[in-house]
């Protein structure tokens, strides 16, 4: 009996070990090494083709980037479920897209939903499977040959091969989802994309190391003599992934690695390279497929904003090398001829692996204004059209949904970094790229459209002989409704003083010659016949405290601004400068006045809908919405505002449970503006949400439908 138990235990252990090796580690034996390898997708010249009913047909990629991001959930928790993915796939297919892209291995729910959609919906979507490394490896001190970079990409690539074939179990993933992957979605997988973005410093460090090889010759990919060490690494990674799938499953898929304008193949003059940090040249043409590759290889570029004069920065050697390729480029196009240049330069298909435009209220680039949802759609269509005209094989619009947890360089210092994004910072450019918008409710707390019917007596905060002021708030905005007796929008000016922080503030605003019953931090000015804006008491001006040297070359902590200063200043944000500063020189950093207020209708059902509208006049007053961050809230879900910058040498946070507000529009009344308390309560970290397709969705849908005749 004991022997039997021992034998059973050994068999169970062996069986368990074998299952673990096969499904968790990807172990396999190639029992048919001579069997032919097939592919359902291939490249031919500059085209991507799909095998359909025994015939190769050109496939122009119309793609959308999809993530698992949901309000109130960390993205790497992969909180989206099968129903979410199915609903999104249906909307993406209705958009006219034929492909979705994911940045990493998703959770098992994604692939189950993808399989279900393609087998049951009557429509087809293809998948470009992304592979990525952790931020620590990408932006860390080691180069790209570090095990956390090179080995992780190879391991993730091989795991992705098993995942799409429905033969993988993942219990824990640093950069990937988890689950039991048993759905074979490989018939609809277009290929693999290595990387989502590269740190330029990592590439430079890798290329300047003498410890790594300068060439690679594999079964499916090899490098040319001009290849650098980073290109050699990309060749090896793509070869290892392709070989794994070819040997194990006898199939192949397209493959590429991501690139971007900062690391493209073109060399700048040293002076400009230094100014623009353009010190790398990564060229997909330096990697060549062997005859054994029956699928294909393409060039993929993330598209981002860069100087419109990029052609002027090319080195003389680069100009000579490009020769006639530079002739006749259309520099009036949205990327100033860049897409056309890449289309001419490459001998393989070129794909836009992620581009987009944000509908956030604040821009990030000098000379650019924020975009409405309509303008977002028009810009996307413009890029799609330009890429097609330049001979590109397709595009991926980034992203499908707004991502509340993204932070943007020019606002990141002003908000708390929360693991649970339960509010949307509409000031942050990174949070507005989606074609799909999230909100708490189907309707916001107030629709700023000039119709005050949703306001009730319960919303009134303050009333007097001039009228009344009502308030509400939700996950995006504070809302105000000023009902005013005899107010004339064309002639009268409304002022709303706001007191949030107990640390500073003034009872007098010199710019508007107003006095208040309490020391105020902000003043809202609604001027139908002129400029409307929010101004901030100078002690509470975030930009000065954080970036006075960049904007004015002064130390804000040398001579402190008075706690009760009567000076109120425009609210501004840094934006990325269009032209570089000469080496060793200094120029004021450009800014954008984000406190300016825009009149319009924020009703999505209105023909006059303006997604950037801040206020709208009613028959008896004004409706207004202000983003939380504009009033120095770092996290409204916990009602955390900025503390005094000069006491803490930067942004620290202070909890409040009320704010004080007032209003006045009678310029003949020189009395102190009375103030009243408005209670503030945070909200739970678990939120329900509703989805809404932006206007940009329908604009892109119309464009893609037009291509189909």
Q: In terms of domains, do 355 and 221 share one?
A: yes
Buried b (16+ CB within 10 A) or exposed e, 594-617: bbebebbbbbbeeeebbbbbbbbb
* Structural domain contains residue 46: no
Mean pLDDT of 466-492: 94
Mean pLDDT of 332-354: 94
* Structural domain contains residue 26: no
Point out the least confidently predicted range of 36-45, 548-557, 639-648, 680-689.
680-689
Q: In terms of domains, do 150 and 271 share one?
A: yes
- Give pLDDT, residue 529: 84
Residue 389 has pLDDT above 80, yes or no: yes
- Give pLDDT, residue 6: 64
Q: In terms of domains, do 164 and 85 share one?
A: yes
* Structural domain contains residue 3: no
Q: What separation in angstroms does the CA of 503 have from each of 229, 506, 520, 677, 678? A: 55, 11, 10, 17, 18
Who has greater pLDDT, 478 or 441? 478
Return d(Cα 437, Cα 417) in angstroms, integer.
21
| pLDDT confidence tier of residue 31, bands split at 50, 70 and 90 | low
Q: In terms of domains, do 430 and 496 share one?
A: no
Q: In terms of domains, do 519 and 506 share one?
A: yes
- Give pLDDT, residue 545: 96
Give pLDDT tens digits for 281-318.
999 999 999 999 999 999 999 998 666 788 999 999 99
- Give pLDDT, residue 410: 92
Give pLDDT tens digits for 541-591.
999 999 999 999 999 999 999 999 999 999 999 998 877 776 677 889 999
Instruction: Evaluate whether 384 touches 696 at the Cβ level (below 8 Å).
Output: no
Q: In terms of domains, do 552 and 408 share one?
A: no
- Give pLDDT, residue 669: 61
Who has greater pLDDT, 122 or 6? 122
* Structural domain contains residue 571: yes
Q: Which CATH number does the domain housing residue 319 bear?
A: 3.20.20.80
Return d(Cα 309, Cα 325) in angstroms, integer.
17
Mean pLDDT of 594-610: 96
- Kindly report the CA angle at 152 between 149 and 157, in degrees rounded to 5? 125
Return d(Cα 118, Cα 121) in angstroms, integer.
6
Q: What separation in angstroms does the CA of 48 have from each of 299, 351, 439? A: 11, 10, 38
- Give pLDDT, residue 690: 93
**All residues at 6 or more sequence positions from 94 whose CB lies less than 8 Å from its CB, including other chains:** 701
Q: In terms of domains, do 535 and 389 share one?
A: no
Q: Are strands 640-642 and 653-655 parallel, antiparallel or unpaired?
A: antiparallel
Who has greater pLDDT, 670 or 35? 35
- Give pLDDT, residue 284: 98
**All residues at 6 or more sequence positions from 15 whose CB lies less than 8 Å from its CB, including other chains:** none
- Give pLDDT, residue 364: 92
Q: What separation in angstroms does the CA of 550 have from each of 261, 537, 543, 573, 589? A: 26, 20, 10, 12, 5
Residue 12 has pLDDT above 60, yes or no: no
- Taking only Cα atoms into account, the Rg of the chain, rounded to an integer number of angstroms, comes to 29
Point out the least confidently predicted range of 127-131, 150-154, 343-347, 416-420.
416-420
DSSP 196: S
- Give pLDDT, residue 465: 87
Mean pLDDT score across all residues of the chain? 92
Q: In terms of domains, do 580 and 638 share one?
A: yes
| pLDDT confidence tier of residue 415, bands split at 50, 70 and 90 | very high
Residue 427 has pLDDT above 80, yes or no: yes
Sign of CA dihedral 262, 267, 268, 269: positive
Residue 676 has pLDDT above 80, yes or no: yes
- Give pLDDT, residue 30: 61
* Structural domain contains residue 6: no
Q: What percent of the chain has pLDDT over 70?
A: 94
* Structural domain contains residue 614: yes
Mean pLDDT of 366-384: 96
Instruction: Evaluate whether 639 touches 657 at the Cβ level (below 8 Å).
Output: yes
Q: In terms of domains, do 187 and 281 share one?
A: yes
CA dihedral 63, 64, 66, 72 (to 10 degrees): 180
- Give pLDDT, residue 668: 59
* Structural domain contains residue 9: no
* Structural domain contains residue 327: yes
Residue 18 has pLDDT above 50, yes or no: no
Mean pLDDT of 469-477: 96
Mean pLDDT of 421-442: 92
Mean pLDDT of 37-46: 95
Q: In terms of domains, do 434 and 515 share one?
A: no
Residue 708 has pLDDT above 60, yes or no: yes
Residue 75 has pLDDT above 90, yes or no: no
Residue 407 has pLDDT above 60, yes or no: yes
- Give pLDDT, residue 601: 96
Mean pLDDT of 491-518: 96
Mean pLDDT of 165-188: 91
Instruction: Evaluate whether 576 touches 366 at the Cβ level (below 8 Å).
Output: yes
Q: In terms of domains, do 525 and 430 share one?
A: no
Q: In terms of domains, do 162 and 300 share one?
A: yes
- Give pLDDT, residue 304: 80
Q: What percent of the chain has pLDDT over 90?
A: 79
Tell me which residue range forms the domain holding 651: 441-686
Quote the number of domains for the chain: 2
């Amino acid at each position: 009996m004991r022997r039997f138990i021992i034998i059973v235990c050994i068999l169970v252990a062996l069986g368990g070990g074998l299952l673990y090796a096969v499904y968790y580690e990807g172990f396999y034996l190639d029992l048919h090494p001579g069997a032919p390898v097939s592919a359902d997708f291939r490249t031919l010249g500059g085209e991507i083709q799909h095998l359909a009913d025994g015939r190769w047909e050109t496939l122009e990629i119309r793609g959308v980037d999809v993530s698992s991001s949901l309000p109130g959930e960390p993205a790497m928790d992969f909180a989206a479920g099968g129903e979410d993915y199915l609903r999104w796939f249906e909307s993406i297919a209705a958009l006219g897209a034929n492909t979705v892209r994911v940045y990493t291995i998703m959770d098992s729910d994604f692939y189950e939903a993808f399989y279900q959609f393609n087998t049951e919906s009557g429509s087809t979507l293809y998948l470009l499977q992304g592979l990525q490394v952790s931020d620590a490896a990408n932006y860390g001190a080691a180069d790209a040959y570090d095990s956390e970079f090179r080995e992780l990409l190879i391991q993730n690539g091989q795991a992705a091969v098993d995942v799409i074939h429905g033969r993988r179990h993942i219990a824990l993933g640093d950069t990937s989802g988890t689950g039991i992957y048993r759905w074979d979605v490989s018939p609809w997988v277009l290929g693999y994309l290595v990387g989502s973005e590269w740190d330029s410093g990592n590439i430079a460090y890798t290329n300047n190391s003498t410890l790594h090889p300068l060439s690679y010759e594999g079964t499916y990919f090899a490098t040319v003599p001009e290849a650098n060490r980073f290109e050699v690494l990309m060749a090896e990674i793509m070869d290892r992934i392709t070989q794994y799938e070819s040997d194990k499953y006898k199939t192949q898929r397209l493959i590429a690695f991501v690139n971007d304008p900062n690391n493209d193949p073109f060399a700048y003059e040293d002076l400009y390279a230094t100014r623009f940090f353009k010190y790398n040249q990564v060229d997909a043409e330096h990697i060549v497929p062997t005859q054994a590759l029956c699928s294909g290889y393409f060039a993929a570029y993330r598209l981002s904003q860069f100087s419109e004069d990029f052609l002027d920065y090319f080195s003389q050697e680069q100009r000579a090398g490009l020769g006639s390729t530079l002739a006749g480029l259309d520099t009036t196009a949205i990327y100033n001829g860049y897409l056309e240049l890449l289309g001419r330069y490459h001998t393989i298909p070129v794909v836009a692996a992620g581009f987009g435009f944000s509908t956030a209220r604040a821009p990030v680039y000098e000379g650019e204004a924020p975009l409405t949802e309509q303008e977002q759609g028009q810009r996307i269509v413009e890029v799609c059209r330009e890429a097609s005209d330049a001979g590109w094989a397709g595009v991926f619009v980034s992203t499908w949904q707004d991502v509340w947890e993204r932070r943007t360089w020019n606002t990141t210092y002003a908000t708390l970094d929360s693991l649970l994004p339960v509010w949307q910072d509409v000031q942050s450019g990174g949070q507005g790229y989606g074609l799909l918008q999230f909100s708490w409710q189907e309707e916001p707390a107030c629709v700023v459209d000039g119709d005050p019917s949703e306001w009730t007596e319960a919303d009134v905060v303050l009333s007097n002989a001039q009228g009344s002021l009502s308030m509400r708030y939700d996950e995006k905005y504070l809302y105000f409704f000023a009902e005013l007796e005899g107010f004339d929008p064309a002639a009268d000016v409304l002022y709303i003083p706001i007191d949030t922080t107990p640390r500073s503030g003034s009872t007098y605003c010199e710019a508007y010659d107003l006095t208040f019953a309490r020391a105020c931090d902000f003043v809202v000015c609604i001027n139908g016949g002129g400029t409307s804006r929010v101004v901030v008491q100078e002690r509470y001006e975030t930009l000065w405290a954080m970036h006075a040297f960049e904007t004015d070359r002064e130390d804000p902590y040398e001579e402190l601004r008075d706690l009760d200063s009567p000076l109120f200043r425009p609210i501004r944000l840094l934006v990325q400068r269009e032209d570089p500063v000469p080496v060793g020189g200094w120029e004021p950093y450009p800014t954008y006045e984000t406190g300016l207020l825009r009149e319009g209708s924020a009703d999505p059902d209105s023909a006059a809908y303006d997604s950037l509208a801040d206020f709208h006049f009613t028959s008896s007053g004004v409706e207004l919405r202000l983003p939380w961050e504009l009033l120095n809230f770092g996290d409204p879900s916990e009602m955390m505002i900025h503390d005094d910058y000069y006491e803490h040498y930067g942004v620290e946070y202070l909890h409040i449970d009320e704010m004080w507000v007032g209003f006045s529009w009678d310029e003949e009344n020189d009395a102190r503006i009375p103030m009243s308390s408005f209670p503030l309560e945070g909200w739970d970290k678990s939120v329900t949400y509703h989805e809404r397709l932006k206007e940009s969705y329908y604009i892109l849908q119309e464009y893609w439908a037009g291509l189909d005749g």
